[in-house]
Structure formats: structure tokens, C-alpha cells
Structure 1
Amino acid sequence: MNTEEFTLPRSRAANEQLHAMIPGGAHTYAKGDDQYPEDLAPVISHGRGAHVWDVDGNRYIEYGSGLRSVSLGHAHPRVTEAVRRELDRGSNFVRPSLLEVEAAERFLATVPTAEMVKFAKNGSDVTTAAVRLARAVTGRPRVAICGDHPFFSVDDWFIGTTPMSAGIPAATTELTVSFPYGDLAATEELLTRYRDEVACLILEPAAGPTEPPPGYLTGLRELADRHGCVLVFDEMITGFRWSEAGAQGLYGVVPDLSTFGKALGNGCAVSALAGRRELMERGGLRDSRDRVFLLSTTHGAETHSLAAAMAVQSTYTEEGITARLHALGERLAAGVRDAAAGMGVGEHLVVRGRASNLVFATLDENGRPSQQYRTLFLRRLLAGGVLAPSFVVSSALDESDIEHTVDVVAQACAVYRKALDAADPTPWMAGRPVKPVFRRLA
């Protein structure tokens, strides 16, 4: 396909319709057309396995599917069948269904470090519930977030700390403080400075480009215990991709509370707050202290989403999905690095992260992160039939998908080299650069 002739007229028209009716043109900012080269944001018709088709009829190999939630591939047969079975039996009732018992049992067997679980629909539901619970049980107002991790919740306690803080009272934001990942001394200094004020430490246990430093998570556990605060692991990304039991299952450090979502439903809306019984019961009916409004969601127990979650967990444990994700990611990372090096851009197109959760950085001629070079790179990937805001794999990929991706990356890197030699990517961008999600002005 000739890159210069690659256009998406139907997608462009559909994007205009989306913007006319939906603020931002999408229901998630990370799916916005500002994240893609100008006029090259595909609008999806359907997907199957590791492939999606846009309304213009183009087929793409897709990475980061469903913002990393679709780890088994689209329309996975075991998940689809489980959902279909429940749809014929009713999806929501005035009282709990037996399926809720089965789903809780399955989850707690998969994540044995937790003693109780409550389901919801979104990651933000459960991270905010964890924060509220931590504040209630400690009687403390402040929340300490890991400042190196990009997203925890749509709610005020987190969004107020981002450039998109409009509408959030400063008094709310001031109650959120941050600590750096991997630095126990800095975290202890923070807890000492705000002695007896910090309700919880919340972080992704491992989501960056490197593994947790030796002893880091254990050290955090000890700090939380010594300072009387709750340790919360946000396992939205690490859940299932690191191990079926998340990073806590892999690294052997048990948090007080943890939150799961994304891969849990393979695209279906389901999330989970899990943790120690002593804490979780504060939101129940068997505790004599002041009640915590923990989670109360109309659709949290939707039967087909819980059935999807159970099918996902069965598939992971029975088919060794986590190991497959790592093997596919390792193959992809090696191929991309070789292709970049072969085209002389190995120090500019950089693949990072755990093999099951790969991202890439695009660096300019001075080695600085560049949205302009990202734009150039994404244009070439799209023209080659690769839709890749990241290189996060799904288990539906096969060897031919990886080979094709690497071939397209090599072609993109050849153009990348030309732009570096010219010290100006503008001629190859064909429009405005892609933009960061969190920014003050549109």
C-alpha cells in the first residue's frame, strides 16, 4: 500500500459524526482521534481475534486491544459462549443470583491472596472504593499515589492532580500527595512529613519499563505497616498479564486491597475490589462500626459480564495464556528492535516494558520523546495494516501477525531514518502531531 495514498474517508466522516454528538468523539480520551495522525483515526466496524476492520474496509493487526482489556482477542469463543448462555437467563435481578457466588469463588481461587471480593464495572469504581475504605478504616484524609504511574481513576482525588483539573476544588486535590516509584527513602520521608495523615499508598505494583527493584514491594509493605496506612495495588494492567493472580501473585507481596479490571472481562465491563476480610467487611452487614459506602452499583452483578470473567479466568489457567502473552511479546520486541537497528534508528524507536505489556517510545535526533516522530511512525503503521498505539499483545496473535508487524515496522523505520537525517519530521507527518491525553487545553 502506498502510504501517501492511504486515506480513510468513511472513518473521517464517522469521526465528524462522533464529535457532533459525543464530547471528544469517543467515550475514552485514550481512544480520541487526537491520539492518531490527522484524518487517519480509523473508526472500527468489527473485530475477530487479533484483527479489526474499519468502516473503510481496511483490516489491521491490532495491539493494545480495548485499551489492553481484550487480552484473548476479540469474540473469543469461550467468552462469547459464556456470555450468550447467560443472556438467555436474564442479566440483572432484584436480588443476588447464584452466579455471583460462583464468580466470587472463581476469583478468590484465582487470586488467593485476597479474602473477599466485590465486583463493579469500571476500574475507577474500585480504585475510588479502595481509597474511601482506606480513609474510613484509618480515619486519615490524605491519599498517596505513585507519581510515576499515569492513571488511577476518573474521580476527583486523582484527576485533580493532572493538567485536566478543571472543575475540581483545590481543597480536594491538596489531599492527594505523590511518591516516586522504587524510592523507599522518599516514600518514608513523605509518610513522616504527613505523619498520621496518609490513609493509603496506591500504586501499580509493576507497570514501568523495568521490574520492581529488589526488595521494593516488600519494603513498601513494611512502610505501610509501620506508618499505619493501607497498601493498595492497582492491578488493572498487571492482573493476568503478569500472572493469573496479578503482580502480587508473581512477586509474593500481599497488599491490603487490590483492584482488577481490563483483562478480567476480555472487553466486557467488569472490575473487582479485593482484599483482607477485616477491611472489606466495613462495607458489609456484619460489622458493628460505622458503615462504609463501599460499592453499590446497579450493574455490578450483571450476569453476562461475570460469566465472561469466569470464562477468562478458566481460559488463562487451563491454556497457559500468561506464558503465551510473554512468548509473543518477546518475539515481537526482538523483531522490532532488530528492524529498528537495521534501519539505523535503534536508539530512537525504543521498545520498553514487560513482554506481556510492551510500549514504544519515539525519540528525536537529540534523544528526547517526540510526538512528531510518533505521528510519523503511526502513519506508516496504519498504512501497513497495523493499529498499534502500543505493542501490547493479545493471545490471538500468531507468528504471521508478528512477522507482518515487524516488516511494517522496518518500512516505517526507513522513513524514520530519513526524517532524522533531515532533522525535521514535518514533511512525513502530513498534518498536526498526535497529542498527549492529559493536557490543559484541547
Structure 2
Amino acid sequence: MTEPSMPRSAQLQERLHQLVPGGAHTYARGSDQYPEGMAPILTGGSGARVWDVDGREYVEYGMGLRSVTLGHGYRPVVEAVTAAIGRGTSFSRPTTLELEAAETFLRLVPTADMVKFAKNGSDTTTAAVRLARAATGRERIAVCDQPFFSVDDWFIGTTAMNAGVDAAARSLTTRFAYNDLDSVEAALAGDDVACVFLEAATGSAEPQPGFLEGVRAACDRHGTLLVLDEMITGFRWSPHGAQHVYGIRPDLSCWGKAMGNGFAVSALAGRRDLMELGGLRTDDDRVFLLSTTHGAETTGLAAFLAVAEAYTTGDPVARMEDAGRRLADGVRAAAQDAGVGELVTVSGRPSCLVFGTRDPDGRPSQAWRTLFLQELIAGGVLGQSFVTSAAHTAADVDHTIDVVADACAVYRKAAEAGSVEGLLRGRPVAPAVRRTAAPRRLP
């Protein structure tokens, strides 16, 4: 496939690197996550389609790091936010919108007694850690071996990109393996862990029978709080979260992303006795809990209420899953037809699909992933995954499957040659969270 011309995107990306560390405001959006010279700078979108500054149109997947489930520019959300802006966005006292949003959220999430809103996920996960430490009198945290929980020290200290995090903070967080109850028990063995942090499921892994129930029981035995991260699963697995799907009751849960269909809003929810530690009705020492200027700003809450209405009156999850199942079937068939069915794979929940790319020896490979991404982008498909939205149409899916078929033909050429050399233009993509800045080039 002919490499697309992106001169304007390249120019603006270079300018961004001069002004913004990393050239983007989220590491996962960085140009190093895309084939060299093929990271488009976008001007906007509608539904599941986006456009770049070079006039190219794409079917997009991932949808704002999984935050957009109803589609870009979803009219009822836009109208609700526009109306809220007209009435003012930030006040010196609570608004009726805050009460309505809290009542609506707690109807959707009946495992929680109270909720507090914020603007991003890290605020809420760190607030959960603080509550857990205050409630238990313990300092250590146990986090699951899953990609991301917070930009704050208690989590970033456990990653390869931990420069600037002091040793004391790093020493207070321990890891355990997903779907491995023995590793959970090992992490909790000292009875000194304030909370266990995990996603109930991920795009590529579902809980094995008994795992979540075992984690809940282990937390109860060891006096540890269970915190579920619903950033991705909330409003994608269900409007009631993955906790509803799997029948697990957390002590605290953290929400964001799809809550506002791309607008900035997040939430910490949980048991009344825990949440009140950050309130005015407690005899215990108070926790400084999510006191933010913009947590109750009206556009995010109005967006959430419009999203909640869409989920109450319709079934966006079913539409996401229908598109995802159709896409997964088509991708698997295209890969099989090209003779690379063992190398190009798709897995995960239908609403949260990821694709896998392996070299001819069957090993996961960043270089081969880059080749696949390169061909997708050249064909007008943009995404580091196949995460769908309710806005993905049959035409969007059909176009994607056609592009995947072309990409798999190129992939087969590389597989037959035993190398991506000559087909991959530029360096491979790199992990978003890594110790060194420079992406590694092909040997």
C-alpha cells in the first residue's frame, strides 16, 4: 500500500514537541506509539470517523483512550453541555446539577452509598488509596499486574518510568498477578496492606471462575479494602460496571472515561463509613478527600447525565458488542485467508478488542505490530486497538475488514521473508511507559 502523505501532520507534530513534553498530553497518544511519519494530527470527528490536518479520513478505534462510547459529537451530550455552559460552569456553592448527578450515579451503581466527582481518574484512585490508609491504619498497597492505575507516586513508582519517585513511596506498593490467588495471598500475608487495587477484567483477560470471589474473601480475611478500577469497564462492560457483570462488591470503586463520552468527569464511589471520612459527619480524623476547583464544574456533570440517559433509554453496550463481534469475526477470517491466522489475532471482550501481532516464530513483536499499524493507517483505519463504540456502523466495520485484509497480505509477505525489513518504513513503535526516551530502531 502506498504510504500516505502527511506533511502538515509532521510539521505540527514537530511544533508540538517544541512546546509540549512528549508532543502530546497523554503518553499513549504520543507519536512514538505510531509508525514513523504516520502519526496524524486530528482536526475533529463525528461518530466513529475522524479527520486530520492533511485532509485524510479514518475509521477510529480506541475512541479517546476508550472514553467515547457513544461516538464523537454525540448530539444529546453536546446539547446538554451547551445548555449547561449557558447557565454558568463554576460556582462558589453546590448546584442542583451536583445533586442530580450524584442521585443518578448511585442509582446506576447500587454497590455504592456515596460518590464524589472529579476530573480525571488518577485523582480518584489516589483518593481511594488515601481513604484506605486512613480507614485501616496501614500504608502498603497491593496492585494488580495491569497496565495503569495512576500518575501518582504510589503507582508510577512500580513502573519502569519511576524517575523522580522517592524510594519510600516505591517500597509501599507491591504487585500481584491477575487470575492468581496465590499471589494475592502472598501480597496480603503480612496483614499490613491497606487496599487491593485491580480491574475486574481487561481488554484481553476475563476473570477465571472464582478469582474475583477469592480476592474479595482474601481482603475480608486480612482486613484489607478492595478497590475496583472501573475506568475502562464502567459504561463499557455495563452501565453498572464490571462489578455488576461479575457479581463482585468492592469497598471503593473508581470511575471515569466513558462517564462523560469524552468530557472530563470521574468519580470515587463506595461505602458510607469510608466515604464519610472525607466529609463533615465523622468523629474520626478527617481525610482531605478530592477538594477540587473543577470537580463539580457543570459541563462534565451535564455530560454524565446525558450519557446516563442514553444508557437508561437505549443499549449502547449491545451496539458496541455487536460491532466488536462482527469486526473480530471479519479480522480472523481475513487473517486466516491470508495465511497469517496464527500471527495476526484479535482477542478480548467484544466491546474492548485488542489485536495481537507475532513474528514468524510466534513471539509478540513491536516491529510486526508497527507493520500492521502502518498498513491500517495507510488504508484509513486509526487505532492502537479494535475498541469499538456504539457509533461504529456496518460500513465502518466493513471498511476496516477490507483494510485488514490488505494489511494481512503485506504481513504475509514479511512472514515469508522472515523479516519486516523493506516493508516497514521507519522505527518500531515503543511501549508508552519505558525508562529511556529514544524508540529503538530496527537492528
Pair in the same fold by TM > 0.5 = yes
Q: Where in structure 2 are the equivalents of 1:254-293 lying within 5 Å?
A: 254-293=249-288
In structure 2, the partner of 1:421 is: 416
SS at match of 2:161: coil
SS at match of 1:310: helix
In structure 2, the partner of 1:179 is: 176
In structure 2, the partner of 1:404 is: 399
SS at match of 2:355: strand
SS at match of 1:372: helix
Given candidates 243, 248, 259, the residue that maps to 1:248 is 243
C-alpha distance in structure 2 between counterparts of 1:17 and 1:143, whole Å: 40
C-alpha distance in structure 2 between counterparts of 1:321 and 1:127, whole Å: 26
In structure 1, the partner of 2:2 is: 4
SS at match of 1:143: strand
Question: Contact between 1:329 and 1:393, CA under 8 Å: does it hold in 2?
Answer: yes
RMSD: 0.8
In structure 2, the partner of 1:53 is: 51
In structure 2, the partner of 1:92 is: 90
The answer to whether the aligner puts 1:350 opposite 2:348 as a matched pair is no
Query: May I ask how many residue pairs the two structures share in their alignment?
Result: 437
C-alpha distance in structure 1 between counterparts of 2:7 and 2:159, whole Å: 34
Shift of 1:5: 4.1
Given candidates 183, 186, 191, the residue that maps to 1:189 is 186
The answer to whether the aligner puts 1:338 opposite 2:333 as a matched pair is yes
Question: Contact between 2:203 and 2:352, CA under 8 Å: does it hold in 1?
Answer: no
The answer to whether the aligner puts 1:314 opposite 2:309 as a matched pair is yes
Question: Contact between 2:203 and 2:353, CA under 8 Å: does it hold in 1?
Answer: no
Shift of 1:96: 0.7
C-alpha distance in structure 2 between counterparts of 1:354 and 1:29, whole Å: 24
In structure 2, the partner of 1:395 is: 390
> Identity over the aligned pairs, expressed in percent?
62
In structure 2, the partner of 1:304 is: 299
In structure 2, the partner of 1:35 is: 33
Shift of 1:366: 1.0
Given candidates 127, 137, 157, the residue that maps to 2:154 is 157
In structure 1, the partner of 2:371 is: 376
In structure 2, the partner of 1:121 is: 119
In structure 1, the partner of 2:441 is: none
C-alpha distance in structure 2 between counterparts of 1:37 and 1:363, whole Å: 17
Shift of 1:314: 1.1
SS at match of 1:103: helix
C-alpha distance in structure 2 between counterparts of 1:433 and 1:216, whole Å: 36
C-alpha distance in structure 2 between counterparts of 1:223 and 1:435, whole Å: 37
C-alpha distance in structure 1 between counterparts of 2:273 and 2:290, whole Å: 16
SS at match of 1:199: strand
C-alpha distance in structure 2 between counterparts of 1:166 and 1:316, whole Å: 41
SS at match of 1:376: helix
**1:441 aligned partner, one-letter code:** T
SS at match of 1:416: helix
Runs ≥4 residues deviating over 6 A: none
Shift of 1:426: 2.0
C-alpha distance in structure 2 between counterparts of 1:315 and 1:357, whole Å: 19
SS at match of 2:422: helix
Question: Contact between 1:196 and 1:227, CA under 8 Å: does it hold in 2?
Answer: yes
C-alpha distance in structure 1 between counterparts of 2:3 and 2:122, whole Å: 41
C-alpha distance in structure 2 between counterparts of 1:252 and 1:196, whole Å: 26
C-alpha distance in structure 2 between counterparts of 1:304 and 1:17, whole Å: 30
The answer to whether the aligner puts 1:366 opposite 2:364 as a matched pair is no
In structure 1, the partner of 2:440 is: none
Shift of 1:208: 4.6
C-alpha distance in structure 2 between counterparts of 1:337 and 1:114, whole Å: 40
Please give the per-residue CA displacement for 1:271-323, whole angstroms capped at 9, x wherever unaligned.
00000101000000000100001111110001111000111111012111111
TM-score (norm 1): 0.98
Question: Contact between 1:363 and 1:370, CA under 8 Å: does it hold in 2?
Answer: yes
Shift of 1:31: 0.3
In structure 1, the partner of 2:15 is: 17
C-alpha distance in structure 1 between counterparts of 2:3 and 2:233, whole Å: 39
SS at match of 1:396: coil
SS at match of 1:188: helix
Shift of 1:190: 2.1
The answer to whether the aligner puts 1:329 opposite 2:324 as a matched pair is yes
Q: Where in structure 2 are the equivalents of 1:88-237 lying within 5 Å?
A: 88-147=86-145, 149-192=146-189, 195-237=190-232
SS at match of 1:410: helix
Shift of 1:183: 1.2
Question: Contact between 1:239 and 1:246, CA under 8 Å: does it hold in 2?
Answer: yes
Please give the per-residue CA displacement for 1:46-83, whole angstroms capped at 9, x wherever unaligned.
11110000000000000001111011110000100100
Question: Contact between 2:344 and 2:357, CA under 8 Å: does it hold in 1?
Answer: yes
**1:169 aligned partner, one-letter code:** D
C-alpha distance in structure 2 between counterparts of 1:156 and 1:191, whole Å: 21
Shift of 1:339: 0.5
Question: Contact between 2:235 and 2:241, CA under 8 Å: does it hold in 1?
Answer: yes
Question: Contact between 1:372 and 1:426, CA under 8 Å: does it hold in 2?
Answer: no
